[in-house]
Every structure is written in structure tokens, then in C-alpha cells.
């Protein structure tokens, strides 16, 4: 078996066998196949696609190219949730403690910020002393003890995917549905959770910007997980505007604490409850989503979710007092209101531009070596469909200096068009995707 014959086969649009897929996958993980040959194969896959069977084979091969986490010693059904990436998307910090408070173990491996999207690990590191790197034994022991842990992925988790992803990024092969689906699901399968809920974003700030593309991606990932023996369901949720009002690491932690404390409601809570409900159903802790949401609301209203967040912060070396005093989070040097440039209704938001703004003022990385400023970001004061008067605060920016605040003010005004006509608010959840059906809402 050789890589040239595999490239030739896929170039002609033929289906690759399990042995052929495992051959090039291990070659990628071990770096024994040249990058230019892997790049040629990736382009052939991008142009000719993969069958459902091929996509499952690729996902399993990438998952099995490194460590496979065994969570069988954790009582109950270990659950996980994955988002395809968004702006102001702080659902993990809300739903994970709420789900754990309902008795379902949450064993979550998260990532860092990527491009214009925020990362859960960067948000958690806003908390003084918080560790997001634990040994596998410590990770499992913590979930056994308190029912919840959120950590970074191990270096040897799906190493083939790391190599192939890096090549996709520089060869214009990122936008391939089987490659996207297998990349995401290989890490989820390797992470060991038996029940997985996927949050597939759609809209101006999403990886897939049309609803049909997002549903297709959700179906592909659900099918992969189901064929691999996991309980998987996906929600297609909107990213036509930031989900929460707060964008930036410490600011998003603050908003999560505000939600869990009962001080804040709105779209972020609604989507967190919808995703969390699916996690409870997938873990057999509720028969229906309505029953599950009732349990989550009880955990929210009685403080059980906030207590679980405290427990996790303390277990991972952080200062749990932040749950009662958000002023302990990093504070920005410059705080400034952004005035609305005219009166009218907010028509839309260029969500990717807003996420990129947060990245440029220090809340994200443009290069892997960049150091994040956890204190910076912005808080949106209005949503799509809201009316604003000229000069009324459109947002509040939190920056390290006046130059960044000037940039943030102009960028936010440009990214949020205001017109005389009223625009309808966005739908939060567009569809539920299960193994055998798609329910459009």
C-alpha cells in the first residue's frame, strides 16, 4: 500500500477502504507521509467528497491515532457538549454546572480561542489560579468526586487530526463537510463521553453561514457518533449576533456567573437550557426535553448550578470567591461607552467582525504565541430589533488603552447597522438533529 495509489483512487472519486484510510491517517500522525502528498489527498477529498462509511472510518482512524480516554469508571453516563464556535458563546460555563447539579457527570475537554471565536479554556483562566491542565487520573477522579471537570485536550488526543487540520488551513480545504465533521467528532470520540450534544452554529458569525449547510454538518456529525455507538444529538442555533451580551474572557465569566446567580436571563440562558436539556435526555436523566429543562431550572433557582461552578473552580485551583464577587476578575484600564451614531432599529450584526475586534484588542490570539489580556472585550447593550436613540450607549468597551478603545468604538458602530425600519429578532434554535430525523423549529 502506498500514498500515491490512495491519492489516485480518491482523485478518481472512488471509495477508500478502511485499511487505506488508516494507512494515511497513521502516516499523518507519525509524520511519515510528506505534507505535499497529504495536501494532495485532502484536495481530492475536498473535490470528490466521502461516503458516510468513509467519513466514519476516517473519524475512527483519527480518534484511534492517539490516546482514547476511558471514562467507564465514572458512575452514570459521562456527557459532553461541543460548539462549532461562536462569539459571546458562554454556554459551557452555564450548562455544565447545571447538568452536573442534576446528577449527570460532565467530563469535558475544551479548546482555546480560534480565530474570531472565543475559547472556554481562555475564559476559565481569567479566574486566579485556575488550572485547565490535569492528568487523566486527576480529571477522572474530579468527575467522580464532584461530577464536573472542564480541562484542555491532551497533547496526544487525535494527533492525526492536528496534522491534517494544520494542512487544511493552508491548502483551502477547510470547507469540506466530511473533513470538518471527522475533525470535530474524532476528538469527541477520543475524549470518552458516551453522550454528546452538538451545538452547530449558523449565521454571520458561524463556520457554516446558511441554515442548510449547518443542518448538513449536524447530520454528518450525528451519524458519525451514532455509527460509533455513542448517543449524539445536535441543535442548530443562531450566531447571527453574539449569543451573550458580553464578549471577552473575564467579561464572559462574569456573565455566566450572573446567569447562574439568577441576575440575568435572555438568549444565553435560553440556549444553555436547550442544550443542557438534550444532555440530560441523552444521559437518561429525563424522558423529555421539557422534563429536563424543569430539572435545570430547579438547579438554577436553588443555586445548585452556581455551587457546582464553585466546586469545580476550587477543585482546579481557582479562587471560588469569584462566584460571589465578580470584581475579583481582571479589570480593564479603560472603560468607555460607545454611542449609537443615529437613531433607529438595529438591523443586523456583523458577528465575525465583532469577534475579530475582540481578538485585535487582546481578547484572542492572532498567533499561537500571543498572550491574552483576560480583562478586555465589550458588552453589547442592544440586540437585533431593538430601538436606540442617537447617542444612547450601543455598547461598553473594556480596553487596555485609549487607542484600542478608539478602534473598538469605530468597529462596533460599523458592525451594527441602524435603520428606520424595525427588524425582527433572530430565532435562537433552528433545528434539532437526531440520528433518524431533523426537526425544524
The interaxial angle of helices 289-301 and 91-101, nearest 10 deg, is: 90
**Catalytic choice (80, 122, 161, 311):** 161
**Catalytic choice (46, 108, 168, 230):** 168
**Catalytic choice (83, 183, 245, 348):** 183
Residue 321 appears among annotated catalytic residues: no
- Any idea what DSSP says for residue 363? I
157 sits in the region (left: phi over 0; alpha: psi -120 to 50; else beta) called: beta
The DSSP string of 28-51 is HHTT-S-HHHHHHHHHHHHHH---
Residue 430 appears among annotated catalytic residues: no
- Any idea what DSSP says for residue 361? I
The interaxial angle of helices 35-48 and 159-170, nearest 10 deg, is: 80
317 sits in the region (left: phi over 0; alpha: psi -120 to 50; else beta) called: left
Count the alpha carbons within 13 Å of 179 in the hemisphere toward its beta carbon: 28
Q: What CA–CA distance (Å, rounded) separates 16 from 21?
A: 6
Q: Which residues contact 336 (CB under 8 A, 6 or more apart)?
A: 396, 397, 399, 405, 409
Beta carbons of 74 and 140 less than 8 angstroms apart: yes
C-alpha separations of 181 from 51, 103, 406 in Å? 12, 30, 39
Nearest to 208 by CA among 86, 60, 318, 378: 86
CA dihedral sign of residues 45, 51, 53, 55: positive
Residue 116 appears among annotated catalytic residues: no
Q: Which residues contact 42 (CB under 8 A, 6 or more apart)?
A: 164, 167, 168, 171, 173, 176, 179
Q: What CA–CA distance (Å, rounded) separates 355 from 276?
A: 25
The DSSP string of 52-121 is HHHHHHHHHHHHTTS-----TTSSS--EEEEE---SS--HHHHHHHHHHHTT--EEEEE---BTTB--HH
**Catalytic choice (22, 123, 162, 187):** 187
Residue 187 appears among annotated catalytic residues: yes
Give the residue numbers marked as catalytic: 82, 161, 168, 183, 187
Amino acid at each position: 500500500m502506498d500514498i500515491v495509489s490512495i491519492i489516485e483512487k480518491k482523485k478518481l472519486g472512488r471509495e477508500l477502504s478502511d485499511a487505506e484510510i488508516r494507512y494515511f491517517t497513521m502516516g499523518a500522525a507519525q509524520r511519515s507521509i510528506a505534507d505535499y502528498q497529504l495536501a494532495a489527498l485532502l484536495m481530492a477529498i475536498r473535490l470528490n467528497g466521502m461516503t458516510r462509511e468513509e467519513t466514519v472510518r476516517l473519524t475512527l482512524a483519527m480518534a484511534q491515532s492517539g490516546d482514547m480516554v476511558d471514562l467507564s469508571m465514572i458512575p452514570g453516563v459521562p456527557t459532553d457538549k461541543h460548539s462549532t464556535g461562536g462569539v459571546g458563546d458562554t454556554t459551557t460555563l452555564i450548562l455544565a454546572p447545571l447538568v452536573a447539579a442534576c446528577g449527570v457527570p460532565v467530563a469535558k475537554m475544551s479548546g482555546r480561542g480560534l480565530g474570531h471565536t472565543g475559547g472556554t479554556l481562555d475564559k476559565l483562566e481569567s479566574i486566579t489560579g485556575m488550572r485547565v491542565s490535569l492528568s487523566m487520573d486527576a480529571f477522572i477522579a474530579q468527575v467522580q468526586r464532584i461530577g464536573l471537570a472542564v480541562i484542555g485536550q491532551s497533547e496526544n488526543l487525535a494527533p492525526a487530526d492536528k496534522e491534517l487540520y494544520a494542512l487544511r488551513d493552508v491548502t483551502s480545504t477547510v470547507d469540506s463537510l466530511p473533513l470538518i465533521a471527522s475533525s470535530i467528532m474524532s476528538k469527541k470520540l477520543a475524549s470518552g463521553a458516551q453522550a454528546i450534544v452538538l451545538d452547530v452554529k449558523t449565521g454571520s458569525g458561524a463556520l457554516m453561514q446558511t441554515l442548510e449547510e449547518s443542518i448538513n454538518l449536524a447530520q454528518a456529525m450525528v451519524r458519525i457518533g451514532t455509527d460509533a455507538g455513542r448517543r449524539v444529538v445536535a441543535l442548530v442555533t443562531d450566531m447571527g449576533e453574539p449569543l451573550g451580551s458580553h464578549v471577552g474572557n473575564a467579561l464572559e465569566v462574569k456573565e455566566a456567573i450572573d446567569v447562574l446567580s439568577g441576575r440575568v436571563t435572555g438568549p444565553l440562558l435560553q440556549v444553555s437550557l436547550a442544550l443542557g436539556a438534550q444532555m440530560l435526555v441523552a444521559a437518561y436523566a429525563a424522558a423529555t426535553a421539557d422534563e429536563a429543562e424543569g430539572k435545570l431550572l430547579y438547579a438554577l433557582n436553588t443555586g445548585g448550578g452556581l455551587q457546582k461552578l464553585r466546586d469545580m473552580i476550587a477543585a482546579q485551583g481557582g479562587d471560588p470567591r469569584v462566584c460571589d464577587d465578580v470584581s475579583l476578575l481582571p479589570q480593564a484600564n479603560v472603560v468607555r461607552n460607545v454611542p449609537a451614531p443615529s437613531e433607529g432599529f438595529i438591523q443586523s450584526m456583523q458577528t465575525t467582525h465583532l469577534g475579530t475586534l475582540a481578538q485585535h484588542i487582546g481578547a484572542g490570539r492572532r498567533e499561537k504565541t500571543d498572550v491574552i489580556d483576560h480583562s478586555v472585550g465589550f458588552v453589547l447593550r442592544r440586540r437585533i430589533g431593538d430601538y436606540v436613540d442617537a447617542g444612547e450607549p450601543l455598547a461598553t468597551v473594556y480596553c487596555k488603552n485609549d487607542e484600542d478603545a478608539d478602534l473598538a468604538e469605530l468597529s462596533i458602530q460599523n458592525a451594527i447597522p441602524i435603520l428606520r425600519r424595525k427588524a425582527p429578532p433572530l430565532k435562537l434554535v433552528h433545528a434539532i438533529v437526531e440520528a433518524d430525523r431533523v426537526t425544524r423549529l
